[in-house]
A and B are shown apart, each in its own frame.
Chain A
Amino acid sequence: MAKKVITELVDELDPGGLTVGILRGLDFVAPGEWVNITNFDRMISTVTGESDEDLIEQVRDRALELYKDESEGYQRAIWMYQTVDNAASALGTAAMANKIGQDTFLSFLSNVTPKPEKAQSIDLALKVVVEILAFCQVNGIPGDSIGDFLKALGEYGGEAKIRMAALVCLDGLIPLGPNFIKGVGSFLSEMSPKQLEENQAFRSLKNFIPGGDPTEKLEFVGRGFSSVSGWMNNLIDSEGLTQRKVMDNIHGFIEIADDKLDYVGAFLDMSTNYYYHTGVQTTAKRLIDRAFAEI
């Protein structure tokens, strides 16, 4: 399959749907900051503050040139977001496409189980690691530079802040409960490199995770998660985030019985692709910033 160029990737993002609806539900974390731009030229106009068509064309052409060069890191960043958010699986898509709701099928419910806590913990930690690695790829910083990433994290806004807030809410609080930061941290410190190797996303990403062997890579995953723990705790405290508050805010998009909360994480995991969606937007914006500076 031919590789898609950045203009196509942005233009093909969903302007509505469940992912966007849920992210809008989390808007209270960064009120009004995130605008779901799904058109590359409009994104150029927003990022540059320019509306001249000739200028927009020049920026687009330069952005395409830069994106095409794999060594620039933009392609790799988007691939990382996609890989760790391989959630929009055939299952989720099929489930969303089907509107079947006869009671006779309730017996099938026994086939559905929430993702095991350990698997969810690894997924959450890997999403944090991908955020660090993609940040470094996009901004041209060495891949193990957690310090530079943390400085930038404090200034995250727009779709990047919503992505990180969604990470805390949808991959942390809802599926793992209010003590997820401590729980995941402990789990990572006790797990073996072999357990990490069993995770499909890790196997795809491992060549890009700093460390000479699986033990060092696991150590980086633990260090990466730990480094972001303070930021996540601050977000939870400052916004008073609880499972109830998050559910109340996304309630308009999913009707959920209280006793089914443990299924929600699995459902969101399969039916949304918020990491990829906002990751493409972040990468494209930084690419446009650079392209505009270079024309």
Chain B
Amino acid sequence: MKPLNFSRFLIALSLSLTLVLGGCAQPPGETGAEPIPAVPAEVSAPEAPAEVEAIAQEESVKGGSLNTFFPGSEGDFERVFVQEKTGFSQAKLKENGEELGLLSINDLANNPKAIEKFKRSDKELMGYPLVTVGKTQTALLVGDRYQVKVKSNSEAFTPEDREVWLQKFNLTGLESLEN
């Protein structure tokens, strides 16, 4: 990219200041010109969101109540929670500080579309329907409601490893979780 000449910038800025300040001095309507927007349209953000606490979806459990069913840290493996939203909790799985993948539990009470893929699967793990999603995820459906997923972020973390880690969740505990 061509370097920006700083003295040119200052000159251009001076001009712009003059234009803007000059523009401000004119009462609206006299010039017929469009007012200069405070923020360019291309970076316009949403309006200030309402100052409300998260509206809990009636049928979904709180993310925090899912945390207790995750595998804990053990040996060289460390579990670090990263997201906790209504009906969803996610943790990183690390080995000796290197990220292997992501662990998650997701309440499908408000997301029935995600249940469909389990109905098409004839595989099971520990008695729960099992599916592979893409190349990187393995998922279980627990209690016809909770989706437990393990995702590989590293090739060293294989599909077999994902099944091992799925079994480390407290699946029977999760199955009995109610609102």
Residues of A within 8 A of B (CB): 1, 3-4, 12, 16-18, 21, 48-50, 52, 55, 62, 70-73, 75-76, 78-79, 81-83, 86, 88-91, 93-96, 98-102, 105-106, 108-109, 111-112, 138-141, 151-152, 155, 204, 207-208, 251-257, 260, 263-264, 267, 270-271, 273, 276, 286, 289-290, 292-295
Contact = CB atoms under 8 A, between A and B. Distances in A.
A111 B14 contact: yes
Which 10 pairs, one residue from A and one from B, show the smallest C-beta to C-beta distance?
A108-B14, A82-B45, A98-B12, A94-B16, A293-B104, A101-B8, A140-B84, A50-B134, A140-B85, A76-B49
Nearest to A70: B49
Nearest to A61: B113
Tell me if B's interface is mostly helix, strand, loop or mixed: mixed
Interface in B1-24: 1, 3-20
Nearest to A97: B12
A243 B80 CA distance: 36
Contacts of A251: 3
Interface in B124-159: 133-137, 147, 149, 151-153
Nearest to A77: B49
A148 B76 CA distance: 22
A253 B9 contact: no
A70 B114 CA distance: 22
A82 B50 CA distance: 16
A59 to B, nearest CB: 9
Contacts, number: 199
B83 A208 contact: no
Interface of B: 1, 3-20, 36-40, 42-55, 63, 80, 82-86, 88, 90, 102, 104, 106, 111, 113-114, 133-137, 147, 149, 151-153
A139 B82 contact: yes
A71 B48 contact: no
Tell me if A's interface is mostly helix, strand, loop or mixed: helix
25 contacts: A1-B44, A4-B44, A50-B134, A55-B133, A62-B111, A82-B39, A88-B39, A89-B38, A90-B40, A93-B40, A95-B9, A101-B7, A108-B18, A112-B10, A139-B82, A139-B83, A140-B84, A152-B82, A253-B4, A254-B4, A257-B6, A264-B6, A273-B43, A293-B137, A294-B147
Contacts of B151: 48, 292-293
B1 A21 contact: yes
Q: Which of A88, A91, A276: most chain B Cβ within 10 A?
A: A91
Contacts of B14: 105, 108-109, 111-112
